[in-house]
A and B are shown apart, each in its own frame.
Chain A
């Protein structure tokens, strides 16, 4: 299950790099991606990212799993770009998306959520006079990350229940229980947060 970009402890220098540096690098890469183009540059970028995965002790398979959920969208973009503007453009666009997804996943895979949250809280602190509550934003992000495997679990449960009852892949029969489950869970989490001293 651990293929969802959740922290995997390790001791590589990628792991040990301060969270702030990794986040800043990610933001820089995002900005720079507007300028990245050319088949060679993009391919080199993705290759470099895979080297970083290797240094962090991760397999190419783990890297692939970060991108896998997007495969159909990416395929669609490739087809469209190729048709509209040629294969170089298709490689450019998809290559940059893959590069950014891999980079973002590498940051979350090698950094504790609490460290990321601390950086975000520090960055948001100057916004306090504007009534932004940095701690709340930080908590929201942590809760979001924690919710990923839980939502995935719900989704599996609902799908299994549907199969067990011999129902086909009906989007409605899938969505309704999933939403109910999620709302009920959100309610319990809210209550638990109050019980744990957050109110």
Chain B
């Protein structure tokens, strides 16, 4: 599993009077297979998640993945660290299911035939078989999120970060995505409000008002969070 190290990180958005600190003095290091992130809206979870693959470079401190700093090696890191967003419509860039998954493989040196096999294989694993030529905008919400996830996983990343992938879904689809996530062999960092998805996680980080306020096994961390919110 990749080793992620966040050292002395603070992050601010905006300038002068509009300046806003969204992360303050965060230090954490993890290499567990399942890491959960919880916290109130606006506590800094998405910003933290985006730091891990260099989508955001911290204004202070550093983030490294397997020793590579995101500030300098963002592109290399993103090749090994996949990101799954809350809204699959923003992430699906091609008009059909198969084209979108293939898009992830466009700059590999696989042949068209090899790409087709990889695409068919991953769609099968995600219960999207037979939908290769299906227009992506006609998929259900749950299917869209599955497609977004399939398009990330087809590149075989070592770590996948997911920012509230179930927030827009109904309970059944959320559960389904949860099951898929539980079955992945890769390292996963999951930001979520669906606390039951974290049951068997190795470690859960709780954010509150820009700070990392708790770092513990799921049971303890969730109790802490519940008390914090009450």
A: residues with CB less than 8 A from B are 1-2, 6-9, 112-114, 139, 142-143, 145-146, 149-150, 153, 185, 188-189, 191-197, 199
- Is there an interface contact between B94 and A142, defined as CB atoms closer than 8 Å? yes
Residues of A within 8 A of B91 (CB): 192, 195-196
Count of chain B residues near A, Cβ 8 A: 32
A112 with B99, Cβ < 8 A, contacts A9-B133, A194-B55, A197-B107 known: yes
Where the two chains meet, the residues of B that have a C-beta atom closer than 8 Å to any C-beta of A are 53, 55, 74-75, 78-79, 82-83, 85, 87, 89-96, 99, 102-104, 107, 133-138, 151-152, 155
A82 to B182, CA, bound (A): 67
Q: How far in angstroms is the closest Cβ of chain B from A44?
A: 33
C-alpha gap A8/B79 in the complex (Å): 33
Bound: A150/B53 CA distance, A: 27
Q: How far is the CB of A102 from chain B (nearest CB, A)?
A: 20
List 4 extra interface pairs beyond A188-B90, A197-B75, A197-B104, CB under 8 A.
A112-B99, A113-B94, A113-B99, A114-B94
* Whole-angstrom CA separation of A182 from B83 in the bound complex: 22
Main DSSP-derived SS at the A contact region: helix
Please pick, from B92, B107, B138, the residue contacting A146 in the complex, using a CB distance under 8 A: B92
- Nearest CB in chain B to that of A135: its residue: B106
Chain A residues, CB < 8 A from B92: 146
Q: Chain A residues with Cβ under 8 A from B53's Cβ?
A: 195
**Interface residue from A112, A149, A194 paired with B137 (Cβ < 8 Å):** A149
Residue contact B83 to A146, C-beta cutoff 8 Å:
no
B95 engages A189 (CB within 8 Å): no
Complex interface: chain B residues within 8 A of A8 (CB): 135
